[in-house]
Structure 1
Amino acid sequence: MRNIEVSNRIQGLIDELYRNDPPVEIERACLLTESYKQTENQPMVIRRARAFEKIMNEMTLVIRPNELIVGNFAVSPRGVQLFPEFSNKWLEDEFDSINKRTGDRFFISDESKKILREVFKYWDGKTTQELATQYMYSETITAMDVGAFTVGNYYFNGVGHISVDYRKVLQIGFKGIIAEAATALVALDKGDPDAVKKSHFYESVIISANAVVNYAKRFAKLAQIEAAKETNNQRKQELLQIAKNCENVPENPARNFWEACQSFWFIQAAIQIESNGHSISPGRFDQYMFPYYEACVINGTMSEEQAQELLDCLWVKLNDVNKIRDEASTKGFGGYPMFQNLIVGGQTVCGRDATNPLSYACLTASAHVKLPQPSISIRVWNKTPQSLMEKAAEVTRIGLGMPAWYNDEVIIPALENRGVSLNDARDYCIIGCVEPQVGGKTEGWHDAAFFNMLKVLEVTLNNGMDGHVKVGLETGDLTSFQSYNELEKAYRKQMEWFVKLLVNADNAVDVAHGERAPLPFLSCMVDNCIAKGKTLQEGGAQYNFTGPQGVGVANVGDALMAIKTLVFEQKKLTLTQLKEVLGNNFGHGKTCAVDSTTGTQQTDLEALVAQVVQQILAQTNKSETYKAQTNNNDSTEGEYIRQMLINGAPKYGNDLDEADDIAREAALIYCTEVQRYKNPRGGCFQPGLYPVSANVPMGLVCGATPDGRLAGQPLAEGVSPISGYDKNGPTAALNSVAKLDHHIASNGTLLNQKFHPSALSGQEGLANLAALVRGYFDHKGMHVQFNVIDRETLRKAQQDPERYKNLVVRVAGYSAHFVSLDKSIQDDIISRTEQLF
């Protein structure tokens, strides 16, 4: 790849960014609380706008050395601000442990703790989390307590998961948006029953947009002050230009590529300051930014190298955005992820190829900085140029786990099926991990919950019980089922129950955000909010969805396949035997640990037992012979049955129709149930099938299962096969995954594959990867992403993290520095099947 090395400027910015663990800063929390105390009797949307205004007017500004794009979220690099209006009790409980975490560590001073304890007192009983809890049924809370699902993402934080209309701000500036809101305010019909409420919204938009304009002008003044003190002439001129840029944008339309980059960043930073929702995704950056790139680079007023350095600076800046999550959530979101998805390629609204020179420059920027953000992606259709495919493959080969690849031929019709117009569907981007969205027109509530599909099966096998707690329906004792169809029917009933509780939880959180945390600034950049006079939280967007994702497709599919094959067809195992071995964890005790040397999960007996079992299975398939040689030992008998479940039935991921069809049906049972429901914003629920990294903690709450999984082991991630079960190579695995109905899972599906670096060597390796993706997409797969790294390197990184501190890997729908991850997530990545062509 050309120009693979970064400039000294970019390397310096990167080094500064990762010099220390990120600190917790309290400025926003203090300013917010002070404002709320001053606006007690005002409408909530006005209170939100006034608080945002105070923060933007008074927060400390910083221009870091050699920056070309300015605008800070916190004073320290990667520092985090706090958002007590959403939740705060968990943080106070974890004050003394956040710097001791095994992953996602933060520093907080004793003085900050003291101040925050006082600040948090004001918010007692006033948070969105507390209100949402009041709107949940007791059965819903019980289901969350046992791990059937979690809505922690929005339960504790702001919503996020959106791509705003960056193009509009670049074209008309916030002056144009203010004028639009002011015109709507003047034109209000005072006879409209919602006139007063609408007027409050318009006023809040004007206040919020003006606050961002003032924020930019504060930077203009700061840049002038720093320029006056600067002795290096080149840096002085840069600061003076930064001052000019900030004086013009984002108030006014951008006049060139530098101003467009600066305006984009002010939008990105301000959204994060208003609310701490992650996945604020740049979307189709190569489309809305290209006119400015073209005007400067193609027409010669800026060199290609200068434009690339601006992009590189912006890419580094995107890694400055950070947030703190409760420790439990970090198990599902490990590695400081912010999920700022930026996508290139695809097609235009007219159905023509959208690839342009900026598409390539964006991929080059990711190759230069080698950082987790932005989470770069590529849209592929049958007219995607081979040169773009191979450019993306070059970046993949670097080993960052990026770009992720998305299939227009599946996603566009999937969105149309949800009521999105053809032109808008063609203009989709990706939000966060893998979620398709029409940027600037959608409040998608993606990633609304992690739903533990395997837990629902476990509850089914235990007649509605989780241990001694009744959490589901009584659908029949496992030993009473006379056919596979009876078992599947029970699973469907159990799924109906838990999805209904999931919907209650999601809608409770949705309503709480609408009542206590409307976001006027974010709303002003999404179509129809101003036209309707409504915030996003009230249903102001053109398209409104709620997208919870199912986790454990492969586990449920393989578990059902094993029961169908071994119990009901081959009759090698009885339901009584199955119930017994599941209840005692196949004789391995109650818990499992991860072997750091192999990346596989074991108990003390497992290694020895597995060795014995494999020797015996190699000699005979007769259980009588096995039992004679093991003297009926409970542990080895349990392990024998476990190996039978693993090796005696077809497995998803090997291009075997009988196993793949069961997995497909397992996914459809969840998806068809989810899509039946509506949300409070007038939209519908749409299912997804992806886990972020929640497959690891979700496995901890599941006992042993008929796929041969021991209690506590991770679930399979995304729609990927269970690690090690896909034995027929990468093409077979892709063929299996493509058999799922990706169109119905319109909130996104996620497939990880891991390749040894040698598989992608040379031009042939790049061409092979491009061909693999095209073949998978021809079979109607939705998404795929690749880790290109060998297992030995990952093990070395675990043992010597300082040496490998810059190693970036794909976790799930995002990439992260490997050494920042909790060990359980590291082990899950190590254990994934390593493919060769």
Structure 2
Amino acid sequence: MGKFYDEDIEKSPRIQKLIDHLYEKLPVIEADRAVLLTESYKETEGEPVITRRAKAFHKICKELPITIRPDELIVGSNSIAPRGCQVFPEYSFEWLEREFDTVATRDADPFYMSEDTKKKLHEVYQYWKGKTTSELATSYMAPETLVAMEHNIFTPGNYFYNGIGHFTVKYEEVLEIGFEGIKAKAEAELCACRVSDADYAKRSHFLEAVILSCQAAIDYAYRYAALALAEAAKETDKQRKLELLLIAQNCARVPAKPARSFYEACQSFWFVQMLIQTESSGHSISPGRFDQYMYPYYKADMEAGKITREFAQELMDCIWVKLNDLNKVRDKDSAEGFAGYSLFQNLIAGGQDEEGNDVTNDLSFMCIEASMHTQLPAPSLSVRVWNGTPDEFLIKAAKLTRTGVGLPAYYNDEVIIPALMSRNVTIEDARTYNIIGCVEPQKAGKTDGWHDAAFFNMCRPLEMVFSGGMENGVQVGVKTKDIAAMKNFEEFMEAYKEQMNYFIGLMVNADNAIDVAHAERCPLPFQSCMIDDCIKRGKSLQEGGAVYNFTGPQGFGIANMTDSLLAVKKLVFDEKKLTLPEFKKALDDNFGKGLSEQQLQSLTTEIAKEMARAGQSVGPKEIRVIYETVKENKVSEADKKKYDQLLAWINDVPKYGNDIPEVDAFAREVAYTYTKPLQNYKNPRGGIYQAGLYPVSANVPLGAQTGATPDGRLAGTPIADGVGPVQGKDTKGPTATANSVSRLDHMIASNGTLFNQKFHPSALSGMEGLQKFVSLIRAFFDQKGMHMQFNVVSRETLLDAQAHPEKYKNLVVRVAGYSALFTTLSKSLQDDIINRTVQGF
């Protein structure tokens, strides 16, 4: 195995300059890509859609404004402003136009927009009305699906409003043969086509689109070579002049041709990473096993004496900074769910090769070092753990965790490999998996996983059980048995499963409609040329060109549902302390604590609609009166006393997360109500559905749309995040919580599970603290847990940062499957992180 490089390298002064420059100003929305795209589409009316996509991408690469930022060694930016972003009207645009005047002041992820940009985008949007993927997808959805979405049972917003992301391409192939080599592969396939072939029309146009897209990437790099030469000619600083000349040399070589050095490999990698996110607005474009495909170039340069470890580390640090330069704007509600300007670019280190040998190497350690140097949210660094993982590697990772940046996340080979194999992934491919986005495993360069295809709120179907599927006078769910007539818990549980199955089917309908819309309107030839077997099959990724095709929507709320259903079982059916109708009234009254803002708004709207139907005038004044009247509708003192007693009873019911085997076994069954039915469905690309169990950060905004639940959770408050317990309900320490979570069936959730824990910094102090921390991870993974991630920060620090954000501009925390700057998060999401249980050993 050899000696690993595990010596700390001092951070280069250049890196801090790059970071400071990156965060000087608010991110900016730019209009250039949207304008160029629209110009191209107007010129290609009537041509095949795949041709139009390639020509538009080529025009963007030829004409998008480019810049080299001060002190950069790795170049390439799809915006002039640091952390700026382009927009993608081919997917959706109405939401942004509505937010033109508020996007700069909203709570989550604000962006600056100039008046000139607003004007340009308004003109562009006239062309796209009726032509977007979101509009086509909506037309394909069943009416009952739209009703369920309107009532926030689930949201498929990720691909509904954006491009396709959540994949890892064959970076290694670009490094080995360049885009000239990939072009040659497509040209060979095109030469083999016969005009009489049944699929000639689509196949030939796809291959031509690939060839043009590869040339677009090459031309884009050449533009940077010319710009670097031009800047070098004007540069007076000798060192910077030499740097610019070397940049020019690199860009004239890669990504057109194979990389010959570690520096060229770094530059080639970056052009691929950045251009994928210029073609499409899909996020979670994950670099994957960076330490594996980059290692041959590093090793060769080191052995030949062409590079020092210090310079190699500086290049990696530069890439880490660049990963934070990429950005995207989301609609207001989605920004709440993905708060922190995150693009979820997951980069993973360590793990095994195809034959099951550990492949931890020097770059694995240097990846951790780069995150230590930059202390930034991106990349979402992850590490693979198995029985053969060197202890020194986990100690190095634990040192990074101890810094409090929420990195890295830890993944268990012993669960993920068999989970992927259960989905017909070969053992060789499964052993070389990487993580996408938050927590989703897949085989790089062969998979179109459609991870994060939807958020499914497992609490909402329970609300439908209590109401018989009705909400605000609308039949949203199925009409299950009246709760007053239910004689035992089994009938209640069966009604919950019935509602779950109904809504899971509607979610599948939504995802499949969106899937078809992307294939018809926005196939992506550049993305597709780097994933097997699109070129061989003559199909884009969106049309089923990948070897492995999945759709992976995630359910969340397991802890709330476990505690809620157990509360109903014990209090109603076992101990008969109250009836189901009485429980329903308590939930409707929010346990006497007053209605949430979401409930107030919903009830006000419903009353206003009824008044309008009755012919009464309903204007802003009347709506305000209705709102204030509803708000003043108070619960009687007698009911308040009853509800306080009920909350006390609920508090005494055993809770998930405390190492109680019978409770944890029930949680496993609750999770099955989502994971088992889902795997029976298929998607339009010839693949299957697989469940994930994680919310990103949507547990907060979607919790705001959810009524009170029988576990004592108040209306409008956050739902539990991931597969961990309800905030504050895990009282027996981190090992007990980990034992509970490990008893879930993580293998069936092959789209990933998410387990957050929060430690006080003192818990990881000294070598003893690090060793105990590593032992916790290994123990959890020995029990077949899939994933762990941590915040190491005190409650006091977070509260002070919330009150005095100017003092904590660089405070990075773990949100969900990603890290973010704490001060950029909405207050509701900050509160959710603050309220997580703080553990200690």
Relative to the length of structure 2, the TM-score reads: 0.94
Superposition deviation, residue 456 in structure 1: 1.0
* Residue 717 (structure 2) aligns with: 713
- Correspondence 1:250 to 2:255: yes
CA distance in 1, matches of 2:333, 2:7: 42
CA distance in 2, matches of 1:444, 1:277: 13
CA distance in 2, matches of 1:423, 1:69: 33
Shift of the 301–5 alpha-carbon distance from structure 1 to 2, 3 Å rule, reads closer
Shift of the 632–214 alpha-carbon distance from structure 1 to 2, 3 Å rule, reads closer
- Correspondence 1:676 to 2:692: no
The letter for the 2-side match of 1:198 is: R
- Correspondence 1:589 to 2:594: yes
Percent identity between the two aligned chains? 59
Superposition deviation, residue 9 in structure 1: 0.5
> Helix, strand or coil for the counterpart of 2:530?
coil
- Correspondence 1:546 to 2:557: no
* Residue 433 (structure 2) aligns with: 428
> Helix, strand or coil for the counterpart of 2:701?
helix
The letter for the 1-side match of 2:745 is: D
- Correspondence 1:23 to 2:35: no
Q: Say if 2:190 and 2:204, in contact at 8 Å, map to a contact too.
A: yes
> Helix, strand or coil for the counterpart of 2:789?
strand
The letter for the 1-side match of 2:370 is: A
CA distance in 2, matches of 1:432, 1:403: 13
Q: Say if 2:9 and 2:310, in contact at 8 Å, map to a contact too.
A: no
Q: Say if 1:560 and 1:662, in contact at 8 Å, map to a contact too.
A: no
The more displaced of 565-574 and 451-460 is 565-574
CA distance in 2, matches of 1:171, 1:553: 45
The letter for the 2-side match of 1:225 is: A
Match of residue 210, structure 1, among 199, 215, 220: 215
CA distance in 2, matches of 1:425, 1:256: 29
Superposition deviation, residue 504 in structure 1: 0.5
Superposition deviation, residue 807 in structure 1: 0.3
Superposition deviation, residue 478 in structure 1: 1.8
CA distance in 2, matches of 1:478, 1:781: 36
Match of residue 776, structure 1, among 777, 780, 789: 780
- Per-residue CA deviation, residues 597-643 of structure 1 (Å, 9 max, x unaligned), is xxxxxxxxxxxxxxxxxxxxxxxxxxxxxxxxx99622232122122
Match of residue 825, structure 2, among 821, 825, 836: 821
- Per-residue CA deviation, residues 90-123 of structure 1 (Å, 9 max, x unaligned), is 1000000001111201000112111211110000
Give the alignment of 1:140-151 within 5 angstroms: 140-151=145-156
- Per-residue CA deviation, residues 767-797 of structure 1 (Å, 9 max, x unaligned), is 0110000000000000000000001101111
Shift of the 4–634 alpha-carbon distance from structure 1 to 2, 3 Å rule, reads farther
CA distance in 1, matches of 2:413, 2:597: 41
Give the alignment of 1:312-331 within 5 angstroms: 312-331=317-336
Match of residue 278, structure 2, among 273, 289, 293: 273
Q: Say if 2:29 and 2:86, in contact at 8 Å, map to a contact too.
A: yes
Q: Say if 1:650 and 1:658, in contact at 8 Å, map to a contact too.
A: no
Match of residue 473, structure 2, among 450, 454, 468: 468
Match of residue 698, structure 1, among 698, 702, 707: 702
- Correspondence 1:310 to 2:279: no
CA distance in 2, matches of 1:483, 1:422: 46
CA distance in 1, matches of 2:258, 2:652: 65
Match of residue 126, structure 2, among 121, 127, 133: 121
Q: Say if 1:91 and 1:326, in contact at 8 Å, map to a contact too.
A: yes
Shift of the 631–329 alpha-carbon distance from structure 1 to 2, 3 Å rule, reads closer
Match of residue 137, structure 1, among 118, 134, 142: 142
Q: Say if 2:108 and 2:332, in contact at 8 Å, map to a contact too.
A: no
Superposition deviation, residue 475 in structure 1: 1.0
* Residue 351 (structure 1) aligns with: 356
CA distance in 2, matches of 1:477, 1:793: 49
Q: Say if 1:643 and 1:708, in contact at 8 Å, map to a contact too.
A: no
CA distance in 1, matches of 2:836, 2:294: 37
CA distance in 1, matches of 2:420, 2:811: 36
The more displaced of 578-587 and 306-315 is 578-587
Q: Say if 1:545 and 1:685, in contact at 8 Å, map to a contact too.
A: yes
Match of residue 260, structure 1, among 253, 257, 265: 265
The letter for the 1-side match of 2:127 is: Y
Match of residue 665, structure 1, among 664, 669, 672: 669
Match of residue 444, structure 1, among 444, 449, 454: 449
Shift of the 255–752 alpha-carbon distance from structure 1 to 2, 3 Å rule, reads same
Relative to the length of structure 1, the TM-score reads: 0.95
* Residue 755 (structure 1) aligns with: 759
The letter for the 1-side match of 2:554 is: Q
Match of residue 77, structure 2, among 72, 77, 86: 72
Q: Say if 1:562 and 1:648, in contact at 8 Å, map to a contact too.
A: no
* Residue 812 (structure 2) aligns with: 808
* Residue 653 (structure 1) aligns with: 657
- Per-residue CA deviation, residues 723-749 of structure 1 (Å, 9 max, x unaligned), is 010011000000000010000000000
CA distance in 2, matches of 1:40, 1:576: 60
- Correspondence 1:830 to 2:823: no
> Helix, strand or coil for the counterpart of 1:753?
strand
- Correspondence 1:189 to 2:220: no
Superposition deviation, residue 467 in structure 1: 3.4
> Helix, strand or coil for the counterpart of 2:711?
coil
The letter for the 2-side match of 1:138 is: P
* Residue 506 (structure 1) aligns with: 511
The letter for the 1-side match of 2:731 is: K
Alpha-carbon RMSD across the aligned residues, in angstroms, is 1.2
- Correspondence 1:742 to 2:746: yes
* Residue 577 (structure 2) aligns with: 572
Superposition deviation, residue 458 in structure 1: 1.2
Give the alignment of 1:411-422 within 5 angstroms: 411-422=416-427
CA distance in 1, matches of 2:239, 2:276: 32
Superposition deviation, residue 446 in structure 1: 0.2
Superposition deviation, residue 196 in structure 1: 1.1
CA distance in 1, matches of 2:390, 2:374: 25
The more displaced of 659-668 and 334-343 is 659-668
Q: Say if 1:592 and 1:713, in contact at 8 Å, map to a contact too.
A: no
- Correspondence 1:686 to 2:690: yes
Superposition deviation, residue 298 in structure 1: 4.2
* Residue 727 (structure 1) aligns with: 731
Superposition deviation, residue 191 in structure 1: 2.6
- Per-residue CA deviation, residues 543-564 of structure 1 (Å, 9 max, x unaligned), is 0000000010101111011111
Superposition deviation, residue 576 in structure 1: 2.8
Q: Say if 2:656 and 2:740, in contact at 8 Å, map to a contact too.
A: yes
CA distance in 2, matches of 1:164, 1:466: 44
The more displaced of 435-444 and 699-708 is 699-708
> Helix, strand or coil for the counterpart of 1:70?
coil
Superposition deviation, residue 299 in structure 1: 3.8
The letter for the 2-side match of 1:116 is: L
* Residue 614 (structure 1) aligns with: none
Query: Which ranges of structure 1 fall in alignment gaps of 5 or more residues?
Result: 594-629
Shift of the 192–574 alpha-carbon distance from structure 1 to 2, 3 Å rule, reads same
CA distance in 2, matches of 1:585, 1:639: 11
* Residue 165 (structure 1) aligns with: 170
- Correspondence 1:406 to 2:406: no
- Correspondence 1:794 to 2:830: no
Superposition deviation, residue 462 in structure 1: 1.6
* Residue 87 (structure 1) aligns with: 92
* Residue 464 (structure 2) aligns with: 459
The letter for the 1-side match of 2:273 is: Q
Query: Which ranges of structure 2 fall in alignment gaps of 5 or more residues?
Result: 1-5, 599-634
The letter for the 2-side match of 1:277 is: G
> Helix, strand or coil for the counterpart of 1:696?
coil
The letter for the 2-side match of 1:88 is: F
Superposition deviation, residue 192 in structure 1: 1.9
CA distance in 2, matches of 1:371, 1:769: 23
- Per-residue CA deviation, residues 424-448 of structure 1 (Å, 9 max, x unaligned), is 0001000000000100000000000
CA distance in 2, matches of 1:5, 1:699: 44
